[in-house]
Amino acid sequence: MSKTIVGVFDDAAAANNAVRDLTAAGIPREQVGITSNEQAAEKPGFSERVIGFFESLFADESDKSQASTYTEAWRRGQVLVVAELDPSQVAQGVEILNRYGTVDLNRRSEYWKKTGFTGQYDRDAALYTKEQRERELAELGAQQTIPVVEEELAVGKHVVQRGGVRIHSYVEERPVQETIRLREELLTVDRRPVNRPVERGDATFQERTVDVVAQGEEAVAEKKARVVEEVVVNKDVAQREETVRDTVRRKDVEVEHLDAGQAKQAKKPSPTQDAPRR
């Protein structure tokens, strides 16, 4: 789900630079918009679209005051940069907007309340002209806040695969042999001559059949499975230190003292660059 960020600028050139850096960071240009109240004079109904956009962006009841504050900034001639970003790009997008000096709306709205802003956007209030905007910026110029921005290097870590082992088990057959001694019974029939009188126990003249069975042993093979070896895989953990080297940027502020002539020249307002149309 995409996230929307909004940057408010006093200077159109700074807003254009922010748009340039956002697109250079890989954000599609169609997802970055730049607008000011000058477009309302050229496009009928544009004001209502701006109001509706911020009301939908800050739809929660607790955020309605934010919708009014952003719409008031647009009414007073500030240049707004709106970007729809992937959640992973939000931190980078905010950093780019802040790099070019976005307006602190909480502090600015306190100033606006001294000039009639109630905290609720007045749909009937007239849009600021260039002259009104420049006069307000000149009044604000008596006390300006210039941010000093410094990057910090955050070093984290993530798990990567360094290698491993793959163990296959398979079955193979091999011929084996064992020797066993078997017992066999063999039958032999002998006829021997006898010459003696018949005795009482002799069965004379009677028919009979006598079966004599010879037995033998046969080899029987039985297989029994036995565990004869185990393969054990152990994992040891080693610690190592690695130094991460990179560069960080710092936006500093240089104060230059002006003499009376230079200060008088600096007070003259410079023409405001028109913001490009979205």
Banded model confidence at residue 263, pLDDT cuts 50, 70, 90:
low
Question: Whole-number mean pLDDT of the chain?
Answer: 83
* Assigned token pair, 214: 């010879």
Residue 128 corresponds to which amino acid?
Y
Each domain of the chain, given as residue ranges in start order, spans: 3-157+243-266
Instruction: Let me know: does 44 contact 117? Beta carbons within 8 Å.
Output: no
- Tell me the C-alpha distance between 59 and 247, whole Å: 40
What does the buried/exposed string (b/e) look like for 100-118 if buried means 16 or more CB atoms within 10 Å of the residue's CB?
bbbbebeebbeebeeeebe
User: Of 135, 145, 16, which Cα lies nearest the Cα of 80?
Assistant: 16
Mean pLDDT of 2-15: 91
pTM of the model: 0.50
What are the two backbone dihedrals, phi and then psi, of residue 99, each rounded to the nearest 5 degrees?
-60, -30
Evaluate if residue 147 carries a pLDDT over 70. no
Banded model confidence at residue 96, pLDDT cuts 50, 70, 90:
very high
Tens digit of pLDDT for each residue in 181-240?
Answer: 988 888 888 888 888 787 776 666 777 788 888 888 888 888 888 888 888 888 888 888
